Structure 1
């Protein structure tokens, strides 16, 4: 049944009683880097004709806000490679002004952040998550295949200058950056940034063997506890991270552990791809087509698809990484669904 102007839309609640209050929107599947754990070197991206317009993204986001979503994150790919994305953020920022949205954020690799930081801050965005796996220039170039670390550091500095809080996301990789975790903690503490460590996830076919680089964060945490006092924090930012205060450093440290500590019981999020598909779980291929619903039937059809999505949202993912297992849990890359 279509909602009229006097009908309050029902909050999005799945069959397990979990309220969906967090929406991640991929504004592009393209990226200007090719991180080895995320993408193959040669990628095929969607043609422009298949992607959502900013007007459609805005309408879909509004539909979610009316159904109780309180936080939106813009992601990619690399969101800042899409021309006009700061204008989209400004449009979404109106929900912050009305009080219907608590937070609007962005995940970026920061290669283009220096030129966009001030504009992002003006939209109402107060925090950005920056993917940074190493501060060694040669290792950074190896992991990203061609990235320049200086551009990323300039972007982070520009964000800080613009008044944006910065959280560093670091994918922990055996034999690559495992020796840099403690130095990264010190650097983040000195710079006033939070740090979140992330286990690599089996999404999409890549050129490397993920099992060679998989670093369980439960072992990392045990090692850190030999050097630091980690005090658990009750604080949650809406995502899957669990947080600790590193007392000696004054650092807030997050851990995202999809493999060693499944966090699905508290899942409060869904993801929209740049082509308008809603994925109810990062670790499943099941999805519904919001773009077709919106184009064919407007907001009423959109609400019907959202109701169906709540019925089909699974209890949990089934991520696993094992030596010799080359097939990923799902065939799509993280850049398709959004981080």
Structure 2
């Protein structure tokens, strides 16, 4: 028997249920983190993410703030502890403030944001107001020409200013850098030094075979092991303990640097993965590397709970080789 409770969001009342079971799959993985995409649109065209002429979903297909709140309230009752807002670029969503307010109102234990930083500074007061203190900011190069070549945008100084402002205001900032051979792999040490100067962590990501990145070919791939080998020539890397379901493995340097590596290709962490992904149009997926998912749009509460159980059974023990669904549509 499900016991119901209601949460009032202004004039909106969200009714959800407290179930008797948690989101635990048949391999013992507890699903406790949700990557929630609020838009597939972006103001950059990073070469590993989408083509310059990318097509986007019609905005009317996006979930509304009310729909997000209803779904997330149910998932929190089922054991979701952390929700990360993603895109596309989430700060492009017109109802971004309403979505954040709705999610906070239904009691999300931890709400965080991944952004490219271009529009971040004006949103910092809103994020502060609602307790969104953890920010992942994408920064693939410190060189203006390389930044522009990767992103098809001339916003490096804007992003760096946003990083500095967020750090100064006390936000917990991590930098994400997708490393590509012959493009930006020569910037590992400069990026470590840049992050160290700000007192924040930089995470180096392996290029993933997802969507548009599949066309880049294997010659752009740099493994985490290769990155570590190069960095050991400059730093004494000391391993840092991490949770089993962490996407990254981390090191610190004797001089105070904080470095993480996300090795989705060479060292996939499927066995302890605790994440689901909800796309902007309402498709719930169990794995970033699996295109299959279940649409939650228009479902009754009973049907949504059946969908959650269905998605729980879709989570693979090992990721697929590659997926051609666009990263910005899945919600990277």
TM-score for the superposition, normalised by structure 1: 0.90
1:208: how far off?
Answer: 5.0
Mapped to 2, the partners of 1:338 and 1:239 lie a distance apart of: 18
What is the match of residue 328 of structure 2?
335
**3-state DSSP class of the match of 2:212?**
coil
Q: Give unpaired runs (5+ residues) of structure 1.
A: 320-328
What is the match of residue 55 of structure 2?
44
Deviations 1:175-224 (A, max 9, x none): 11111111110110110111111011111135952323111111111222
Mapped to 1, the partners of 2:71 and 2:316 lie a distance apart of: 22
What is the match of residue 323 of structure 1?
none
Deviations 1:220-241 (A, max 9, x none): 1122223222221113496411
What is the match of residue 238 of structure 2?
231
What is the match of residue 96 of structure 2?
85
**3-state DSSP class of the match of 2:4?**
coil
Mapped to 2, the partners of 1:266 and 1:151 lie a distance apart of: 37
**3-state DSSP class of the match of 2:97?**
helix
Summarize the alignment of residues 1-339 of structure 1 with structure 2, pairs less than 5 Å apart.
3-5=2-4, 8-9=18-19, 10-94=21-105, 101=109, 103-205=110-212, 208-236=215-243, 239-248=246-255, 250-293=256-299, 297=300, 299-319=301-321, 329-339=322-332
Between Structure 1 and Structure 2, how many residues are aligned?
A: 320
Q: Is the Cα contact below 8 Å between 1:121 and 1:163 reproduced in 2?
A: no
1:334: how far off?
Answer: 1.0
Q: Is the Cα contact below 8 Å between 2:69 and 2:106 reproduced in 1?
A: no
Q: Is the Cα contact below 8 Å between 1:24 and 1:272 reproduced in 2?
A: yes
Deviations 1:40-68 (A, max 9, x none): 11111001221111111111111110100
Q: How large is the RMSD of aligned CA atoms in angstroms? A: 1.8
Q: Is the Cα contact below 8 Å between 1:118 and 1:159 reproduced in 2?
A: no
Mapped to 2, the partners of 1:256 and 1:272 lie a distance apart of: 21
Q: Is the Cα contact below 8 Å between 1:36 and 1:206 reproduced in 2?
A: yes
Deviations 1:282-330 (A, max 9, x none): 111121111132xxx1x222111101111121112133xxxxxxxxx21
Q: Is the Cα contact below 8 Å between 2:47 and 2:212 reproduced in 1?
A: no
Mapped to 1, the partners of 2:197 and 2:96 lie a distance apart of: 31
Q: Is the Cα contact below 8 Å between 1:90 and 1:124 reproduced in 2?
A: no
* Most deviating of 199-208 and 223-232: 199-208
* Most deviating of 305-314 and 26-35: 305-314
Q: Give unpaired runs (5+ residues) of structure 2.
A: 6-16
Q: Is the Cα contact below 8 Å between 1:58 and 1:92 reproduced in 2?
A: yes
| Greater RCO, 1 or 2 (C-alpha within 8 Å, sep 6+) | 1
